[in-house]
A = this chain, B = another copy of it.
Amino acid sequence: MKLVVMKFGGSSVAGADKVKHVAGRIIQKKKEGYRVVVVVSAPGDMTDDLITMAEGITKSPPPREMDMLLATGEQASIALLCMALHAKGHAAISLTGPQAGIYADADHTRARITKILPKKVLSELAKRRIVVVAGFQGLNPHEDIATLGRGGSDLTAIAMAAALEADLCEIYTDVEGVYTTDPRVVSDARKLDEISYDEMLELAGAGAQVMQGRSIEVAKKYGVVFEVRSTFLQASGTRVHQEVRRMEDVAVSGIAFDRKQAKISIVDIPDRPGVAAKVFGALGKAGINVDMIIQSEATDRKNDISFTVSESDVKKALSALRPVKRALEAADLIANKNVGKVAVVGVGMRSHSGVASKMFQALADEKINIQMISTSEIKISCVISRDYVDDAVKVLHKTFELDKK
């Protein structure tokens, strides 16, 4: 009997009516002949509400206690969803992350899954029950509840699908799938029927909000084929897997962008080994993720280093770098918050050298100045003025004919 893991996000279970609707989707799947494991997030704004409660007590809650608090959100969801399934006449059982055999490391509020021993899940499936597992949580080596951080529920679903060797993993969300770009920006953006892990990873890294990179990486590592689809519509979504067969001439599959970037530059630093290590070591210690990095050419034994970070990390980054600036006797430390990023993504572009020049020309035609460029095998990203991000996305979507199948 085939096995499916279905994951529903918080917006899918916000309120009794939505919980009942989700129960209907699950039962539909069961009737198609599947054994069903469900992973569910905390309802709607509950996680935010819990965080607000904690902030009412203290500005810096201990991470272990924060996890104890946050884990109640998913626990409420699994109970309510099982009630809805029972009410519709289907046997179901809720399991917390620890009960479902999900083990995590000790890094509270952003733990990593270390292993899954789904003994209880399998024994409940054998009793012909629908098994509803709390996303976002696991048991750490101290036998404490640990939460998995951003994207943790998706990760739970993908990892559970891998551990159970599921035939299918479905990520239900409030969008219909993965699009060529954000439909709010480009009205004729098109839903992709399929996409490769690598492309999905680049889209996630370039600001597409569908899914966090960590879940996609685990899916790729364990070969979990999953489908991103809508909770509220019956239409099929986007299938994410290893190999995507396409006509040779389709090079670009999507345009990603991120308005909330900032560019930081350290000006006039010595051109000697170890300098970059000092700069990015300080940022790493402060827990800041750096995206694009550009080092200008050396002139007169002096260098500039520029890089982008998320806008919300600017303050932290600057205070981490001030001692470095002094130590290196740099001339200046500058932050520019008025920048954004736009990227074209596609597996096909590996063998199409024309993609980059086509992208740069299209932006030039729109008089959009490119401040930084970075490339990977399947992505070309440009940092531009934040004001032009939407225009850039529109023109690139048109240039690469993404509105046409």
A: residues with CB less than 8 A from B are 15-16, 19-20, 50, 53-54, 56-58, 60-62, 64-66, 68-69, 71-73, 75-76, 78-80, 82-84, 86-87, 93-94, 96, 99, 143
Q: A58-B84, A83-B62 are in contact. Are A75 and B75 (CB under 8 A)?
A: yes
Once the chains are docked, how many angstroms separate the CA of A61 from the CA of B76?
13
Residues B65 and A83 in contact, CB atoms below 8 Å apart:
yes
For the complex formed, measure the closest distance between the CB of A65 and the CB atoms of chain B, giving whole angstroms. 4
For the complex formed, measure the closest distance between the CB of A354 and the CB atoms of chain B, giving whole angstroms. 56
Residues A79 and B94 in contact, CB atoms below 8 Å apart:
no
Query: Could you show 25 A-B contacts with beta carbons less than 8 Å apart?
Result: A15-B56, A16-B53, A16-B56, A16-B57, A19-B57, A50-B76, A53-B76, A53-B80, A54-B79, A54-B83, A57-B84, A57-B87, A58-B87, A61-B86, A62-B83, A64-B93, A65-B79, A65-B86, A65-B94, A66-B79, A66-B83, A68-B96, A72-B72, A72-B75, A99-B143
Residues B68 and A86 in contact, CB atoms below 8 Å apart:
no
Once the chains are docked, how many angstroms separate the CA of A56 from the CA of B19?
10
For the complex formed, measure the closest distance between the CB of A190 and the CB atoms of chain B, giving whole angstroms. 37
For the complex formed, measure the closest distance between the CB of A282 and the CB atoms of chain B, giving whole angstroms. 28
Residues of B within 8 A of A78 (CB): 68
For the complex formed, measure the closest distance between the CB of A266 and the CB atoms of chain B, giving whole angstroms. 37
Residues of B within 8 A of A62 (CB): 82-83, 86
**Nearest 3 interchain pairs by C-beta:** A16-B56, A69-B79, A58-B87
Once the chains are docked, how many angstroms separate the CA of A54 from the CA of B20?
12
Once the chains are docked, how many angstroms separate the CA of A96 from the CA of B143?
11
Residues A69 and B58 in contact, CB atoms below 8 Å apart:
no
Residues B50 and A68 in contact, CB atoms below 8 Å apart:
no
For the complex formed, measure the closest distance between the CB of A78 and the CB atoms of chain B, giving whole angstroms. 7
For the complex formed, measure the closest distance between the CB of A341 and the CB atoms of chain B, giving whole angstroms. 37
Once the chains are docked, how many angstroms separate the CA of A65 from the CA of B19?
14
Residues A83 and B58 in contact, CB atoms below 8 Å apart:
yes
Which of B50, B66, B72, B80 has a CB less than 8 Å from the CB of A57?
B80
Residues of B within 8 A of A71 (CB): 75
Once the chains are docked, how many angstroms separate the CA of A60 from the CA of B61?
37
Q: In the complex, what residue of chain B is closest to A93 when comparing beta carbons?
A: B64
Residues of B within 8 A of A68 (CB): 75, 78-79, 82, 94, 96
Residues of B within 8 A of A53 (CB): 16, 76, 80
Q: In the complex, what residue of chain B is closest to A16 when comparing beta carbons?
A: B56
Q: In the complex, what residue of chain B is closest to A55 when comparing beta carbons?
A: B16
Once the chains are docked, how many angstroms separate the CA of A353 from the CA of B50?
59
Residues of B within 8 A of A73 (CB): 72
Once the chains are docked, how many angstroms separate the CA of A80 from the CA of B49?
13
Which of B54, B75, B83, B93 has a CB less than 8 Å from the CB of A80?
B54
